[in-house]
Amino acid sequence: MKHSKIFSIIAAGAFLLTASAAFAEGDVAKGKKIAKKCVACHSLDEGGKNRLGPNLFGILNKKAATNPTYKYSKAMANSGLTWDEATFLEYITKPKKLVKGTKMSFPGIKKATKRADLLAYFKTLK
């Protein structure tokens, strides 16, 4: 009896670890749909022009506020951020919380799965 309970607990733990790893990956196709919110203000095309916000193509793993053709808010310019995966996810959760004074008016994405999907899509923009 004890062995079957232990096995069940181990199996459940393995399942949860596998499921959380799959969740962390995100879905590129779903992320592309979510990115339609971004294109209201940003270009996502290689060499695309800045719009209300800067072009976001290839932004991952780059230092924030380094597009020389875009005028960033003082808050973003002085943020010292690098758009690694963790920072990207934290920022799109609630931009004004991470960078107080940013001029980005987007309220954020509440659902972690949607943020993971968006990140998966942004990883393809390189």
The label of the residue with tokens 């607990």 reads 9
Does the residue 111 lie in any domain? yes
Both tokens assigned to 89: 């996810």
The answer to whether residue 42 is domain-embedded is yes
**Cα distances (Å, whole numbers) of residue 97 to 7, 10, 53, 79:** 43, 38, 18, 12
pTM of the model: 0.80
Provide the number of structural domains found in the chain.
1
- The residue range of the domain holding 53 is 27-122
Asked if residue 21 has pLDDT above 50, the reply is: no
Q: What is the CATH number of the domain that holds 100?
A: 1.10.760.10
Mean pLDDT (the chain) is 88
Question: Tell me, what's the pLDDT at 18?
Answer: 43
Q: Is residue 48 part of a domain?
A: yes
Is residue 4 in a domain? no
Does residue 37 fall inside a structural domain?
Answer: yes
